[in-house]
Chains A and B, each alone.
Chain A
Amino acid sequence: MSEKQPVHQTSQHPVYEELYHSDDFRELRKRYGAFAFPWTIAFLAWYLLYVLMSNWATGFMNTKIVGHINVALVFGLLQFVTTFAIAWLYARHARTHLDPLAAKLKARYDEEIAK
């Protein structure tokens, strides 16, 4: 496996432009973006809310819920829960909505390259 080209310059192979402008790829990009961007904004906002409240909403955060367990602890643990949940949602989204399209496009690429 020796390299002829300087590594990692673009191949300039026309197949990439062809795939880029295909309907399947447009759809793949749309589906990826529709999940990744809103969720990134959402979990960052949720995390920042937690940080800001730890600083400036101590009265609320210090409210006891049961025994020695207060709102701050539950809020912190909720960050764990949402992280696990978003990771799980993304895995499901990628498996059902992204992987099949990506595999189809990759097969088209392999076919073109083999020609």
Chain B
Amino acid sequence: MSSQTLTTVMFLLVVALTVGITFWASRQGSGTTDYYSGGRSFSGFQNGMAISGDYMSAASFLGISGAIALYGYDGFLYSIGFLVAWLIALLLVAELLRNSGRYTMADQLAYRMRQRPVRTAAATSTVIVSIFYLLAQMVGAGSLVALLLGVSSESLKNLTIVGVGLLMIFYVTVGGMRGTTWVQIVKAVLLMAGTVLITILVLAKFGFNISDLLGAAADNTGKGEAFLQPGLKYGVSGTSKLDFVSLALALVLGTAGLPHILIRFYTVPTAKDARTSVLWAIGLIGAFYLMTLALGFGAAALLDTSEGSKVQASGGNLASPLLAQAVGGGEGSTGGALLLAIISAVAFATILAVVAGLTLTSASSVAHDLYANVIKKGTASEKDEVKVARISAFLIGGVAIALAIPAQKLNIAFLVALAFAVAASANLPSLVFNLFWRRFNTRGATWAIYGGLIASVGLVFFSPVVSGGPTSLFVNHDWSWFPLSNPGIVSIPAGFLLGILGTLTSKEPEAEAAHDELVVRALTGAGAEAATSH
């Protein structure tokens, strides 16, 4: 069997497995709590796996190892921010949100504030963050499939994007949160197993001596010790250094504001289980990022990463799959073909699980926040709400497909970093103020959300990412005046400041009075939503 056929078979196996899971999950219950939160019946460990599956995206698996393969040490900087960020989720967000919210990020804000404005604001930022993140995954899927099947045709890439889009709509409309969660759990198992396997094979090549592996990477890339030191990517100029600080802030503050991560805390019965799930997630994600070091430096040591090589041409995205082929025996060998097919299928499963989580999150927010509470003012029946959630999943999937096809020029890691920056600027300020600041009110919340949103997206629009630079979206025009490609260093403080300003320029005694109830509920679980029993 040729390598391409093998890879195709593996992809189809992943699709069959996830479709089967979704059908099975769809028969487990059909109320709103089932659809949005999987009946809140997952254990802390299961949810920890699902969180890892939701979080470790194509940008993590293919992107970070690829960045290390190309830029050495600077690629590693991403994973540190991605991991440390989980402490904010653990210490300040997970348990309190589980106790005081219900289905969406907006629930906790709506507890104190005037529902309609804050739900509209939160739903807007939920959909925007999720769409940026979705685009990254779908663009990744398109180039991955095209490169692996050895066809670089535009129509195949577009076909893949449409296929991934249809699959994610299927998972979300049919399986709801329960189906999505199981897809993510299976993906986490596959991803960890695949990564452990390749890591062991790589380390074995160097007698499990890390220093030798690093030395080989430094030699093979021809960059010497500089490859193992910070600065190859971000140390070029003062601007690039500032850009790196800006990126680092977005990574560490963004995770706890990502809507698709936040709603995962509602799938467990109690706040203690939410804590357990974050602890598992930290362990799994941390272990995974440590292994990406071996994958990235292994790829640098064993593959050709020079100008014009396959790794370089894919922007690093193919480093892991090609490394799997190399340690399996190289091109043309059965072992190499098998490992390449396995790791490619794992990457594909990774993408599918993440896009399903994102689509579900957006659909839930549109149905629960906008339809049920803003438009219907709480009078919609459960059945109608779930129906609207399914229709929204279709619409959002359609929008994502339509946007992903022209967005294929955009860099995946950049799109993901932008989603983190928007989450940190628009969502984190109001989540934190809502819990810990009694004076906080509706105007503060809406100003923080819209302000953070406009600042982060607006600054990118006026950055060299969109116009004026050699790699810009619009090469022939230049309206850029903001020098950095990561907006976080300006937009995150802007989100917090606008939250403070909006709060201080208005008075809302109801919101202040409701703070006591919210805090009691958040810290003790008194009155928190219970799990449904089947």
Is A29 interfacial (CB-CB < 8 Å)? yes
Structural contact, A32 and B523, CB atoms closer than 8 A: yes
CB of B165 within 8 A of chain A?
no
Our pick among B215, B218, B228, B521 for the contact of A73 (Cβ within 8 Å) is B228
The 14 sampled A-B contact pairs (Cβ below 8 Å) are: A11-B517, A16-B516, A35-B91, A39-B91, A43-B84, A44-B252, A56-B241, A58-B231, A72-B229, A80-B80, A80-B286, A90-B90, A105-B526, A106-B526
Residue pair B524, A40 in contact (C-beta under 8 Å): no
Interface stretch, picked from B109-117, B192-200, B415-423, B444-452, is: B109-117
Q: Which residues of A contact B519 (CB under 8 A)?
A: 20, 29
Q: A1 contacts which chain B residues (CB < 8 A)?
A: 31, 33, 532
- Where chain B touches its partner, the secondary structure class is helix
Stretch from B275-283, B404-412, B462-470 that touches the partner: B275-283
**Cα distance A35–B234 when bound, in Å?**
35
**Of A10, A55, A66, which is within 8 A of B211 by CB?**
A66
Contact between A17 and B516 (Cβ–Cβ < 8 Å)? yes
A6 to B527, CA, bound (A): 15
Q: Is the CB of A55 within 8 A of B520?
A: no
Known: A25-B520, A109-B526. A99 touches B272 (CB 8 A): yes
Complex Cα distance A81/B90, Å? Answer: 16
Interface residues of chain B, those whose CB is within 8 Å of chain A, are 31, 33, 73, 76-77, 80-81, 83-84, 86-88, 90-92, 95, 101-102, 107, 110-112, 115, 210-212, 214-215, 218, 225, 228-231, 234-235, 241, 244-245, 248, 252, 272, 275, 278-279, 282-283, 286, 289-290, 372-373, 377-378, 382, 513-514, 516-521, 523-527, 532
Residues facing B in A5-58 (CB within 8 A) are 5-13, 15-17, 19-20, 25, 28-29, 32, 35-36, 39-40, 43-44, 47-48, 50-52, 54-56, 58
B33 smallest CB distance to A (angstroms) = 7
Query: Could you tell me if B527 and A11 are in contact, using CB atoms closer than 8 angstroms?
Result: yes
A36 adjacent to B91 (CB under 8 Å): yes
Cross-chain contact A69 with B88 (CB below 8 angstroms): no
Contact assessment for A2 and B520 in the assembled complex, using a CB-CB cutoff below 8 Å? no
The number of chain A residues with a CB under 8 A from chain B is 64
Question: Is B275's CB under 8 angstroms from A94's CB?
Answer: yes
Q: From known contacts A10-B112, A68-B214, A72-B229, infer whether A55 and B523 are also in contact, taking CB-CB under 8 Å.
A: no
What residues of A have a CB within 8 angstroms of the CB of B278 in the complex?
87
Of A3, A55, A105, A109, the residue contacting B241 (CB under 8 A) is A55
Known contacts A11-B527, A17-B516, A54-B77; A69/B210 CB under 8 A: yes
Q: Do B92 and A36 have beta carbons less than 8 Å apart? A: yes
Give the chain A neighbours of B112 by CB distance below 8 A: 10
Contacts of B525 in A (CB 8 A): 102, 106
A69/B87 contact (C-beta < 8 A), A9-B111, A62-B225, A84-B283 known: no
Contact between B80 and A6 (Cβ–Cβ < 8 Å)? no
B21 to chain A minimum Cβ distance, whole angstroms, is: 26
Residue in A7, A16, A70, A72 whose CB lies within 8 Å of B526: A16
Name the CB-closest residue of A to B290. A80
Main secondary structure of the interface of A (DSSP, over half): helix
B517 pairs with A10, CB closer than 8 A: yes
Distance between Cα atoms of A87 and B228 in the complex (Å)? 29
Minimum CB–CB distance from A105 to chain B (whole Å) comes to 4
B115, A76: Cβ atoms closer than 8 Å? no
User: Which residues from A are CB-within-8-Å of B275?
Assistant: 91, 94
Residues of A within 8 A of B (CB): 1-3, 5-13, 15-17, 19-20, 25, 28-29, 32, 35-36, 39-40, 43-44, 47-48, 50-52, 54-56, 58, 61-62, 66-70, 72-73, 76-77, 79-80, 83-84, 86-87, 90-91, 94, 98-99, 102, 105-106, 109-110, 113
Residues of B within 8 A of A113 (CB): 527
Q: From A81, which residue of chain B is reached at the shortest CB distance?
A: B286
- The answer on a CB contact under 8 Å between A19 and B520 is yes
**Contact: B228 with A68, CB < 8 Å?**
yes
Task: Give B84's nearest chain A residue, CB to CB.
Answer: A47
Query: Contacts A32-B523, A83-B286, A84-B282 known; A58 to B87 CB distance under 8 Å?
Result: no
Interface residue from A5, A10, A35, A105 paired with B524 (Cβ < 8 Å)? A105
A69 to B80, CA, bound (A): 17
- A72 to B228: give the CA distance in the assembly, Å: 8
Please, how many angstroms separate the alpha-carbon atoms of A40 and B111 in the complex? Answer: 25
A29 and B522 alpha carbons, distance in the complex (Å) = 11
**A112 and chain B: residue at smallest CB distance:** B526
Cβ contact within 8 Å between A7 and B225: no
Cross-interface CB contact of B115 among A6, A40, A73, A79, cutoff 8 Å: A6
A55 touches B244 (CB 8 A): yes
Asked if A3 meets B252 with Cβ closer than 8 Å, knowing A51-B244, A68-B215, A87-B279, the reply is: no
Instruction: Give the residues in chain B near A80, CB-CB below 8 Å.
Output: 80, 83, 286, 289-290
How far is B215's CA from A69's CA once the two chains are assembled, in angstroms?
9
Cβ–Cβ contact B80 & A47, under 8 A: yes
Q: How far is the CB of A47 from chain B (nearest CB, A)?
A: 5
Pick the most buried of B81, B102, B377, B520: most chain A CB atoms within 10 A of its CB. B520
Q: Is there an interface contact between B377 and A6, defined as CB atoms closer than 8 Å?
A: yes
Q: A1-B31, A11-B527 are in contact. Are A50 and B229 (CB under 8 A)?
A: no
When the two chains form their complex, are residues A9 and B115 in contact, meaning their CB atoms are under 8 A apart?
A: yes
Known: A25-B520, A43-B84. A87 touches B90 (CB 8 A): yes
